[in-house]
Amino acid sequence: MSDRSSAVSRDDGNGDTEARFIRRCLELAARARGATSPNPLVGAVVVREGVVVGSAWHHRAGEPHAERLALQQAGPQAGGATLYSNMEPCCHHGRTPPCVDAIIEAGVARVVSAIRDPDPRVDGKGFEALRAAGIEVSSGFESQAAAELNAGYLKIQRSGIPFVIGKAALSLDGRLATRTGSSQWITGEQARAMAHRIRAGVDAVVVGVGTVLADDPRLTARHGGGAGPRYRVVLDSHLRTPPQASLLQQRDGVPLIMTTQAAASGERQRLEKAGATVLVVAADGQGRVDLPAVLVRLAALDVCTVMLEGGSRLLTEALQIGIIDKVFLFYAPLLIGGAEALPLWGGEGVAQMDEARRLQRVRHYRLGRDWAVEGYLRTPPEPE
Active site residues: 67
The 10 Å Cβ neighbour count of residue 238 is 15
299 contacts: CB under 8 Å, gap ≥ 6:
156, 160, 161, 162
Dihedral sign for Cα atoms in the order 287, 292, 297, 301: positive
Phi and psi at 62, nearest 5°, equal: 95, -15
**DSSP secondary-structure letter at 357?**
P
**How does DSSP assign 237-293, residue by residue?**
TT----TT-GGGS-SSSEEEEEE-TTS-HHHHHHHHHTT-EEEE--B-TTSSBPHHH
Indicate the residue type of 358: R
Q: Which helix (H) or strand (E) holds 82?
A: strand 82-87
66 contacts: CB under 8 Å, gap ≥ 6:
25, 28, 29, 42, 43, 44, 56, 57, 58, 85
Q: Which of 94, 95, 98, 115 is nearest to 106 (CA)?
A: 98
Q: What gap in Å lies between CA 260 and CA 278, rounded to an integer?
A: 10
**DSSP secondary-structure letter at 160?**
S
**How does DSSP assign 121-156, residue by residue?**
TSTTHHHHHHHHTT-EEEE-TTHHHHHHHTHHHHHH
Q: Is 191 helix (H, G, I), strand (E, B) or coil?
A: helix
Q: What gap in Å lies between CA 79 and CA 107, rounded to an integer?
A: 4
Q: What gap in Å lies between CA 336 and CA 326, rounded to an integer?
A: 25
207 contacts: CB under 8 Å, gap ≥ 6:
217, 219, 233, 234, 235, 308, 309, 310, 311, 314
372, β-bridge pairs: 330, 365
Dihedral sign for Cα atoms in the order 82, 85, 88, 89: negative
The 10 Å Cβ neighbour count of residue 235 is 27
